[in-house]
């Protein structure tokens, strides 16, 4: 069980489209404590996904510093970031992005291929992850044989199977109905509460954001509001 | 890697999974079975043709090498192959080396243009000098008994295995040929030898004295020949005699053109069509087509899976492994398709007796390990070529852009 804090200092991220310079993040600074569950909201183009990608080491800032635990991401090379991601970050995507030709168990096992780990240990971790997300009886089902909620559970199991410090969820309920969304959010809350994972979740949905201890509102690349959700903050033991 | 320490993390194994990248690779091929199947077939058919074409080239090349060893020099009328040379030309050639140190024997031949009656099957039928034919064509390996029959039987014929198989002929059988050139003689022959692996397979040799007597009996002249074969003792002697013979008859009414057997055959064959050249061109076209097909298939496959490859990168798979995964998939598909074409073709060529494929006009390709290795190599190269661009795209793929496109 491990978690990491996150710190962004004066982070700028600009994209170029032809000759046009598009600022996605404009001097953003914020801190997220280890073991926190934070929701990020904001209109389209506000920089939510960019922030998630920077924290996940999928992209580098134009300027500024991004630190996750001990790692100064802005100073790391592409190769170092790749290796770091495999050990410290778990991603959960809106569209699940499971490999359709593999079973649920095999999808979950994929990230473990990056580690020198005995097959028996891999099996044990996969079984455990399946148990956590409540899909033990669906282990040999292909994604096409699962419902949207079950697919997202498999994606969550894939994200936690390496025991990462940080879980990054990009619109994890964006493709699900209300009831299934609630199940997924409860699962994320469980991972947060029982295993102390730092979870950063980007969402458009206020009901999903309500599961966060903090809700960060971004607008035009800057932090517009930083709200604390007292009900969740109190309930969660960090 | 940090380890989870919760109790539930130590739950016993329920079932085995154990996925590997090789397994992922194999499973990817089943993702779209129809497309994989069609691409594999698109590889298999041209690869089968490629093996056939290359086997044919190998057979022809081997035949050429075999001919070269026979040290035979073809002497013909310089004006045209159909032109006649006087019978005295043979004697004059023999007089160039009375001690028989540079040339072994000289055999004159006359074109008969024989056709099997009631068929359209015109054979390469040549009337040959009875005394020197077995020496000049020692590679036909006439046994002492067959040689004796050739000498004693005026109607003796030595025939290629292709024509023998086509018409069901056997040694000792009497057969008839009708000439397609005036005076259109119809002659009866007795087969004394069937040449194994005859090239071309429709050869029909018989005695020139029998033709001459028959022509004269019909009121025509039996004198003259179209072709004289000179069996030499060495390659150096062959080249020297080639120049000496042409020089000897220069500025005479019967000017000659001498060339070694391969040059003669290739000139003769190219008059009909450059078969080896055609086979090579066909092979090149085949390679080009399958490269396009495979490349297109791999690009489609890559485009469909852009987001999936991006997720592999997001999970922490190094770009070079993603590159390898795409390239290996292309290679695997190419190998699968190639084997699908190569194995049945090569097996067929290896197992089906040549006698079943041979015909009077077709010298069949034979199993050639070189053709198989060549086709496999081409398959691998094409697989790599087809996969390298999509793999490079995967290598350069920006994870954030790819994920954004989907979301």
A174-201 per-position pLDDT tens digit? 888 888 999 999 999 888 888 888 999 9
How would residue A233 be classed by pLDDT, with cut points 50, 70 and 90?
A: low
Please indicate, yes or no, whether residues B363 and B289 belong to a single structural domain of this protein: yes
Asked if A2 contacts A205 with a C-beta cutoff of 8 angstroms, the reply is no
Please count the other Cβ atoms lying within 10 Å of the Cβ belonging to residue B320. 12
How would residue A2 be classed by pLDDT, with cut points 50, 70 and 90?
A: low
Q: Choose from B1, B30, B322, B406 for mutation: most chain A CBs within 10 A.
A: B1
Helix H or strand E segment including A63: strand A63-68
Calculate the CA B15 to chain-centre distance: 55
Q: Chain B residue closest to A136 (CA)?
A: B14
Please indicate, yes or no, whether residues B159 and B33 belong to a single structural domain of this protein: no
**pLDDT score, position B268:** 61
The closest of B18, B19, B63, B15 to B269, measured between CA atoms, is B63
**pLDDT score, position B17:** 52
B117 within a domain of the structure (yes/no): yes
CB contact under 8 A, A85 and B19: no
CB contact under 8 A, B1 and A163: yes
Cross-strand bridge partners of residue B74: B229, B259
Pairing of strands A37-41, A214-219: parallel
Flag whether pLDDT at A232 surpasses 80. Answer: no
Please indicate, yes or no, whether residues B110 and B185 belong to a single structural domain of this protein: yes
Please indicate, yes or no, whether residues B47 and B133 belong to a single structural domain of this protein: no
On average, the pLDDT of chain A sits at 89
How would residue A236 be classed by pLDDT, with cut points 50, 70 and 90?
A: very low
Least confident of A25-29, A163-167, B370-374: B370-374
Q: Which of A59, A110, A194 sits opposite B19 (nearest CB)?
A: A110
What are chain A's domains? 34-58+87-235 (3.40.50.300)
Question: What ipTM was reported for this prediction?
Answer: 0.88
**pLDDT score, position B196:** 83
Please indicate, yes or no, whether residues B93 and B219 belong to a single structural domain of this protein: yes
**pLDDT score, position B15:** 40
Cross-strand bridge partners of residue B9: none
CB contact under 8 A, A101 and B27: yes
**pLDDT score, position A17:** 80
**pLDDT score, position B71:** 85
Q: How far is A200 from chain B (nearest CA, A)?
A: 16
B184 within a domain of the structure (yes/no): yes
Structure tokens at B314: 């997001």
B173 within a domain of the structure (yes/no): yes
Please indicate, yes or no, whether residues B238 and B339 belong to a single structural domain of this protein: no
Where does chain A have alpha helices with state H?
Answer: 48-55, 78-88, 104-109, 119-133, 148-160, 178-195, 206-209, 230-235
Using a CB-CB distance cutoff of 8 angstroms, which residues of chain B are in contact with residue A139? Answer: 14-15, 17
Please count the other Cβ atoms lying within 10 Å of the Cβ belonging to residue B398. 12
CB contact under 8 A, B3 and A163: yes
Q: How far is A97 from chain B (nearest CA, A)?
A: 6
B135-189 per-position pLDDT tens digit? 999 888 889 999 999 999 999 999 988 888 888 899 999 999 999 888 889 999 9
Please indicate, yes or no, whether residues B224 and B159 belong to a single structural domain of this protein: yes
Please indicate, yes or no, whether residues B220 and B293 belong to a single structural domain of this protein: no
Please indicate, yes or no, whether residues B241 and B355 belong to a single structural domain of this protein: no
- What sign results for the dihedral spanned by CA atoms A142, A148, A153, A156? positive
Calculate the CA B395 to chain-centre distance: 42
B389 within a domain of the structure (yes/no): yes
Least confident of A6-10, A46-50, B61-65, B244-248: B61-65
Question: Which domain range does residue B390 map to?
Answer: 23-62+275-406
B57 within a domain of the structure (yes/no): yes
The closest of B325, B401, B334 to A99, measured between CA atoms, is B325
Helix H or strand E segment including B214: helix B208-217
- Residues of chain B falling short of pLDDT 50: 1-16, 360, 406-407
The CA distances from residue A229 to A214, B63, B74, in Å, are 6, 89, 103
Please indicate, yes or no, whether residues B289 and B395 belong to a single structural domain of this protein: yes
B260 within a domain of the structure (yes/no): no
CA distance B397 to B322: 10
Q: Which of B13, B24, B406 sits opposite A102 (nearest CB)?
A: B24
Please indicate, yes or no, whether residues B247 and B320 belong to a single structural domain of this protein: no
Flag whether pLDDT at A234 surpasses 60. Answer: no
Give the number of domains in chain B: 2
B267 within a domain of the structure (yes/no): no
Q: Which of B192, B219, B254 is the last residue of a domain?
A: B254
Flag whether pLDDT at A237 surpasses 50. Answer: no
A58-98 per-position pLDDT tens digit? 999 999 999 999 999 989 998 899 999 999 999 998 888 89
Please indicate, yes or no, whether residues B240 and B125 belong to a single structural domain of this protein: yes
Cross-strand bridge partners of residue B128: B109, B207
CB contact under 8 A, A97 and B307: yes
B262 within a domain of the structure (yes/no): no
CB contact under 8 A, A123 and B311: no
DSSP state at residue A167: E
Question: In B46-179, where do the E strands start and end?
Answer: 72-77, 103-111, 114-115, 124-128, 156-160, 174-179
């Amino acid at each position: 069980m491990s978690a990491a804090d996150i710190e962004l200092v004066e982070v700028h991220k600009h994209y170029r489209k032809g000759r046009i310079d598009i600022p996605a993040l404009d001097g953003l600074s914020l801190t997220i404590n280890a073991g926190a569950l934070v929701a990020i909201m904001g209109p389209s183009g506000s920089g939510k996904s960019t922030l998630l990608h920077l924290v996940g080491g999928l992209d580098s800032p134009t300027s500024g510093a991004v630190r996750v635990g001990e790692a100064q991401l802005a100073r790391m090379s592409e190769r170092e970031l790749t290796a770091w991601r495999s050990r410290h970050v778990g991603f959960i995507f809106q569209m699940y992005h499971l490999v359709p030709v593999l079973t649920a168990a095999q999808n979950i096992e994929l990230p473990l291929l990056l580690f020198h780990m005995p097959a028996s240990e891999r099996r044990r971790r996969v079984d455990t992850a399946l148990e956590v997300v409540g899909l033990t009886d669906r282990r040999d089902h292909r994604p096409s044989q699962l419902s949207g909620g079950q697919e997202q559970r498999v994606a969550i199991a894939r994200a936690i199977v390496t025991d990462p410090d940080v879980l990054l969820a990009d619109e994890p309920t964006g493709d699900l109905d209300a009831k299934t969304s609630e199940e997924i959010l409860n699962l994320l809350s469980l991972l947060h509460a029982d295993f102390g994972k730092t979870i950063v979740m980007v969402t458009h949905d206020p009901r999903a954001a309500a599961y966060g201890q903090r809700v960060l509102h971004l607008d035009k690349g800057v932090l517009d509001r930083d709200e604390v959700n007292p009900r969740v903050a109190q309930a969660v033991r960090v | 890697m940090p380890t989870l320490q919760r109790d539930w993390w130590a739950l016993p194994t329920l079932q085995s999974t154990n996925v590997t990248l090789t397994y992922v690779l194999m499973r990817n091929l089943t993702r779209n079975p129809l497309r994989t199947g069609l691409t594999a077939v698109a590889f298999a058919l041209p690869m089968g043709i490629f093996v056939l074409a290359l086997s044919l080239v190998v057979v022809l090349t081997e035949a050429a090498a075999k001919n070269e060893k026979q040290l035979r020099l073809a002497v013909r009328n310089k004006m045209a192959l159909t032109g006649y040379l006087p019978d005295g030309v043979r004697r004059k050639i023999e007089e160039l080396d009375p001690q028989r140190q540079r040339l072994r024997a000289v055999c004159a031949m006359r074109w008969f243009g024989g056709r099997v009656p009631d068929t359209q099957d015109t054979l390469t039928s040549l009337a040959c000098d009875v005394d020197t034919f077995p020496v000049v064509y020692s590679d036909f390996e006439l046994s002492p008994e067959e040689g004796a029959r050739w000498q004693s039987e005026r109607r003796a014929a030595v025939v290629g295995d292709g024509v023998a198989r086509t018409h069901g002929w056997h040694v000792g059988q009497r057969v008839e040929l009708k000439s397609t050139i005036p005076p259109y003689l119809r002659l009866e022959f007795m087969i004394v030898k069937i040449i194994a692996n005859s090239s071309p397979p429709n050869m029909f040799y018989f005695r020139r004295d029998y033709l001459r007597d028959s022509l004269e009996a019909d009121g025509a002249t039996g004198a003259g020949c179209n072709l004289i074969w000179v069996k030499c003792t060495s390659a150096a002697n062959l080249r020297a005699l080639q120049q000496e013979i042409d020089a000897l008859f220069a500025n005479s009414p019967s000017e000659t053109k001498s060339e070694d057997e391969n040059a003669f055959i290739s000139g003769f064959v190219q008059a009909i069509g450059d078969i080896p050249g055609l086979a090579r061109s066909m092979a090149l076209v085949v390679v080009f087509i399958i490269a396009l097909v495979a490349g297109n298939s791999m690009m489609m496959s890559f485009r469909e899976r852009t987001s999936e490859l991006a997720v592999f990168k997001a999970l922490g798979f190094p770009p070079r492994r993603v590159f390898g995964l795409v390239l290996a998939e292309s290679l695997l598909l190419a190998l699968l398709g190639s084997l699908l074409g190569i194995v049945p073709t090569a097996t067929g060529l290896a197992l089906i007796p040549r006698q079943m494929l041979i015909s009077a006009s077709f010298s069949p390709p034979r199993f050639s390990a070189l053709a198989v290795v060549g086709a496999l190599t081409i398959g691998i190269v094409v697989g790599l070529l087809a996969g390298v661009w999509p793999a490079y795209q995967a290598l350069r793929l920006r994870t954030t852009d790819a994920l954004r496109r989907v979301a």
